[in-house]
Amino acid sequence: MNNQIAAVGFYQHLPISNPNSLQDITVTTPTMKAHDLLVQVNAVSVNPVDTGVRGGGSAQRLKHPKVLGWDAVGQVQAVGKEVTLFQPGDRVWYAGDFQRSGSNTQLQAVDERIVGTAPQNLSDEQAAAVPLVGLTAYESLFEKFSLQKNDKILIINGSGGVGSMAIQLAKLAGLTVIATASKPQSVAWVQDLGADFIIDHHQDLVSQMRALGFRYVDKILNLNNLDAHWSEIAELIKPDGQVVATTENHQLIDLQKLTKKRVTFSWEWMYSKSYYQLPSMMTQHDILSKLAKLYETKLLIPINKISYSPINATNLRQAHHDIESGRMVGKVILAGWKR
């Protein structure tokens, strides 16, 4: 096996308009740990975390290139000595580990406990769109919330990647879903996903909810600007309700707004289990297996919307630009390496 492989990475945290913000590079084939799979990456997707990591930090030149990418689908090429879940040749999907080198490389080492078998009925492009947002949506709904059938849930930013999965999973769980979307194509997409009601997160959420006849909702999943929506969230959540957020705040949030209602607030960060090497890491393998079955039984629809080929710096820069535009619906995918 050739020890040098193609990848896309960067040496400086730069704006995406700078051609050096992402570069075609070569890296060494990763060293495998005992629970690792060595995966030949066939397709990846780009998430807001990619643009955030690339654009954040000092512009000082790094000693070693940083390779991004937290979604992939590919074929297992080799397995570590303690691997029990997979074997070479298996087609897998995963979202990876925040502390390890990313998926924008021909070969990636990833812990088997956060990997699932990719759905047989999805193409590489379709499958690569799902892991990170699927895990985030699933953990938010079924680990952070205590759901009851017929609960009313408000999903703020329903047309993005996590929202696209959360709406579908919430409907399968029997919830009434109110989702936000602001542009005609976003509204159409959220309707296709099955949302029962749609409101605009660029307008006052409280007045729109009241116009629909909702005083309170049982659950709120915030996938948008937490600072902008915090007061609305505090007003709309019911007493003893639950709020989960995936987006960081940039100002202090006033938790006292939830005091009288005795509301529970939680963060969801999909990487926590692998970041802290928690015993619950294996649940991500289980969740990806459940999502695969839902796709294979056609209970979920694909969420890939934009595709580029091959995986290279030029196309990844365009994908990052798409994300940073704030106009994305669904997910952006890159597939194939130019040999």
61-112 pLDDT, tens digit each: 999 999 999 999 999 999 999 999 999 999 999 999 999 999 999 999 999 9
Return mean pLDDT, the chain: 96
Gap between the Cα atoms of 308 and 185, Å rounded: 20
Question: Average pLDDT in the 276-301 region?
Answer: 98
Question: Average pLDDT in the 250-255 region?
Answer: 93
pLDDT at 2 (0 to 100): 60
Question: Average pLDDT in the 311-326 region?
Answer: 96
Cα separations in angstroms, 216 against 1, 179, 336: 59, 14, 47
Residues composing the chain: 339
Question: Average pLDDT in the 38-45 region?
Answer: 98
Tell me the percentage of the chain whose pLDDT exceeds 70. 99
Gap between the Cα atoms of 251 and 254, Å rounded: 9
- CB atoms under 10 Å from CB of 211, counted, come to 9
Contact criterion met (CB below 8 Å) for 307 and 330: no
pLDDT greater than 60 at residue 1: no
- CB atoms under 10 Å from CB of 214, counted, come to 18
Question: Average pLDDT in the 291-305 region?
Answer: 97
Question: Average pLDDT in the 118-124 region?
Answer: 98
pLDDT category of residue 59 using cuts at 50, 70 and 90: confident
